[in-house]
Chains A and B, each alone.
Chain A
Amino acid sequence: MDIDDILAEALHVSAPQETLDLQELTRAWVAERVAPELLPYPDALMERVLGRIRRQIETVEEQTGNMDPKTNFKLIVIQTELERFKFLVRSFLRARVAKNSAEYLSLSESKYLTAHQNLLASHYQSSFLSQFPNSLQKLDDTQGGISMIDAPDPDTAVFCRALRDVGEINVVGTGRAFVMKRGDVRVVRWSAIKEKVLAGDIELV
């Protein structure tokens, strides 16, 4: 641990939870939009953020109709903030739902996804698959060198920034390696830094 880390930690402690949550949400949002695979669902964070959104909505509802210009101005500030938070959460959830992945789902996402996949399967079935020979009706077969399964490409390049010194990164399959220091920005294959991102040592930008 060097002086930078100590300073960073001290800064962390002094910022209020709300600010940290916003930072964390923004980071999760950027990461989710950039990463080719679905990332873990930030349960606790989402609960705090959604709770705060609900409370702010209540505040707005209670104070609406109050004609005092001071309150009115305050309300506009709150509502603007509220709209921005709602946008972040919405865009974040939409980025997740667009990925159709099976890992790291929240409960409601998993319900949605299961139902969605069933819908698609029966749609294919009734549109043409049922007319196909039996041996060809499965959706998950990979025979004959032609896979019926689509998967995210873990070798997609992403922009990322090191949040602390993370040492050497090996890009598997290319024989290349490089050292990333705190603050370094790189374009790398997602597969090479995935673990570090999940551990919170590197952020996607």
Chain B
Amino acid sequence: MYGELGNKLVQHAKRTQALAHLPPYQAETVRAVTREVRDLEKDRASTLESLAGSFDPSTDPATACALLVNHLCQRRNKRCMLAYHRVRSDKLEEMCWSGIDVLERQQQAGKAGESAGSLGAESGNTSSLSPEEEEYVRQYSDLLAAYKGQWTDIDLTGSLEPPRDLFIDVRVLKDAGEIQTEYGAITLTKNSQFYVRQGDVERLIAQGYLQKLG
């Protein structure tokens, strides 16, 4: 039935909104919807051709209805596609804002997938991003960096939690090397605990190296 695939995309998008990660790009469905739109367009063109320019909707309501339904289906499909791609690009942008290196994470996931694939599990392309989405992330990161650069004092991608204390207790979850603070250098080794200035370690918290305590 016309529109069914579009609906599938929208449902997928809806589910994506609630997820923390980005599920694989539904390339197959996207292609199928595109095909549907093109078939509809062909139908429309051939109907119009058979009418040869003279068409009175009131004498031929069946054809008028067919054309209208065809028209609406095309548009609905387009709307669904836009919605699907937008939800995903929103998600990707969100990741850029929170400092997650989306592409690197994809590569790691890809590698993990490959080794699993050699054991006879799944194989093929394991990236959950389409090539277009990867390109989008690349360009958006550049754009964000440029915009952020105009507000260096503020750190636009910093925490959106209202700050309570200047200093916080953190626990180190992963070795993060040495960081410079105004009280000297601190070496962050796994499982150690520190009392540090929040502003100095915000990035490391966002990236999952440190955990805020209390």
Contacts and interface: CB of A to CB of B under 8 A. Distances in A.
Contacts of A135: 41
A158 B155 CA distance: 29
Interface residues of A, number: 43
Contact of B72 (A86, A112, A146): A146
B180 to A, nearest CB: 12
B154 A89 contact: yes
B140 A144 contact: no
Binding site secondary structure of chain B:
helix
Given A119-B143, A124-B85, A136-B37, A90 B156 contact: yes
Interface string B172-204: 000000000010000000000000011100000
A131 B34 contact: yes
A86 B85 CA distance: 33
A178 interface: no
Contacts of A79: 166, 197
Given A115-B143, A116-B143, A127-B85, A133 B41 contact: yes
Contact of A86 (B71, B81, B153, B182): B153
Interface string B25-50: 00000100110011001000000000
25 contacts: A83-B163, A87-B160, A87-B162, A89-B151, A90-B151, A93-B151, A93-B156, A94-B156, A94-B160, A111-B147, A112-B143, A116-B140, A119-B143, A127-B133, A128-B30, A128-B34, A128-B81, A132-B37, A132-B38, A133-B41, A136-B41, A136-B74, A145-B72, A146-B79, A148-B79
Interface of A: 50, 53-54, 57, 64-65, 76, 79-80, 83-84, 86-87, 89-91, 93-94, 97, 108, 111-112, 115-116, 119-120, 123-124, 126-129, 131-133, 135-136, 139, 143-146, 148
